[in-house]
Amino acid sequence: MEFTARQIADYLKGEVEGDDTVSVSTVSKIEEAQPGSLSFLANPNYTPYIYTTGASIVLVNKDFKPEKPISATMVRVENAYQALAGLLNLYQQSLPQKKGVSSLAFVHERANTGKDIYVGEFVVIGENVVVGDHVKIYPHCYVADNVTIGSNTTIYPGVKIYENCVIGKDCTIHAGAVIGADGFGFAPQSDNNYMKIAQIGNVILEDHVEIGANTTIDRATMGSTVVKKGVKLDNLIQVAHNVIIGENTVIAAQTGIAGSSKVGKNCMIGGQVGISGHITIGDEVKIAAQSGLSSSVRDKKIVMGAPAFDHEKYIKAYIHFRNLEKLVKRVDELEKRLADQQEQQ
């Protein structure tokens, strides 16, 4: 499909600067774009590329001020990155949509399935499962008994959803994710062995949640592990039993959250963060990558390090740490001078 600069500007409520009849049929990064493609400029670090890009149309912020002539047609919008996201979603929705239940899938006779669903090859849907309208379940997925899946949710290949879990509307679960496996619960015994504690709870994903590939969310020991509305989890994340993640929090890859911890809403958590069990992370907290948290964090704090503490204090401490070798030498020299003075007295 082709779109002109005028059509794009009208859809985005933007302003065209240049040839409004030029058209594009693909999207490219600004530094690699060729004629006939649409690109965008949101990060100032990429500004030099707008003067050399081969893109036919570039989305820019309304306050962008070029310093040199630009050959591409610009479409000025309030937020170029958000505008591009909207266009990509529009393009994806225009693609042919999969529908129908494969003859190679197993759907239990007591499952309740909605309209216009897609169920791929070798999918297993258990007893008393409820599948909403327009749900897509790709090949090799397993949906255990008593699971509920809300409308417009997409479940990619190889996902496993254990019994009694609840998946909300408009969710996306990427390939290989496991929802509802047992929490890591074992009781020490007198013979240095461990007794498994039955995990009888479930997992609840509220609406508009996205779960990355190979991420695992454990079922609660009792009650529910809850991922609230709008949460976005990256690939390879571990969420333990009875964890609660607040609305619109985003978490990057390889983060692990131990059992019964609570993460507030609108938090941003970097990759490879470790969060201990039974602690509380407040609302709007930002945690830098590779941080380790062993104690609770209040609202709106920015923390980093292992153990994590206030980022401004961490940066100051890190400056001293980098100069530690010089400081040690100075201390050694001072101690030597002091020792020499004491010998002379």
Confidence check: pLDDT of 106 > 80: yes
pLDDT band at 296 (very low <50, low <70, confident <90, very high): very high
For 184-237, write each residue's pLDDT tens digit.
Answer: 999 999 888 999 999 999 999 999 999 999 999 999 999 999 999 999 999 999
What is the distance of C-alpha 335 from the center of its chain? 52
- Residue 61 confidence class, pLDDT cut points 50, 70, 90: very high
CA angle 23, 29, 31 (to 5 degrees): 105
Residue 66 pLDDT > 90, yes or no?
yes
Please identify which of the residues 134, 174, 208, 241 carries the catalytic annotation: 241
DSSP β-ladder status, 57-61 and 37-41: parallel
What pLDDT band is residue 291 in, cutting at 50, 70 and 90? very high
One-letter amino acid at 48 equals P
pTM, 2 dp: 0.87
Domain segments of the chain: what residues? 3-94, 100-312, 313-344
Confidence grade of residue 17 (pLDDT, cut at 50, 70, 90): very high
Retrieve residue 179's tokens.
């929802």
Residue 19 three-state SS: coil
Tokens coding 272: 């490879």
The proportion of the chain whose per-residue pLDDT surpasses 90, expressed as a percent, equals 83
Residue 149 amino acid letter:
I
Helix 311-322 vs helix 324-344: angle between axes, to the nearest 10 degrees? 60
Question: How many other C-beta atoms lie within 10 A of the C-beta of residue 3?
Answer: 18
Q: Is 241 a catalytic residue?
A: yes
Kindly report the CATH number that applies to the domain delimited by 3-94: 3.40.1390.10
pLDDT at site 42: 94
Q: In 10 A of CB 244, how many CB atoms? A: 20
Return the percent helix, strand and coil in the chain, to nearest 5: 20, 30, 50
SS3 assignment, position 237: coil
Question: What's the pLDDT band for 126 if we cut at 50, 70, 90?
Answer: very high
User: Which pLDDT belongs to residue 316?
Assistant: 82
Per CATH, is 100-312 categorized as 2.160.10.10? yes
Q: How confident is the model at residue 152 (pLDDT cuts 50, 70, 90)?
A: very high
Higher pLDDT, 340 or 200: 200
State how far Cα 56 lies from the chain centre: 31
Q: Which amino acid is at 169?
A: K
Instruction: Return the pLDDT at 341.
Output: 85
Q: Which residues of 180-192 are buried (b: 16+ CB within 10 A; e: fewer)?
A: bbbbbbeeeeeee
pLDDT in tens, 257-268: 999 999 999 999
Helix (H, G, I), strand (E, B) or coil at 235: coil
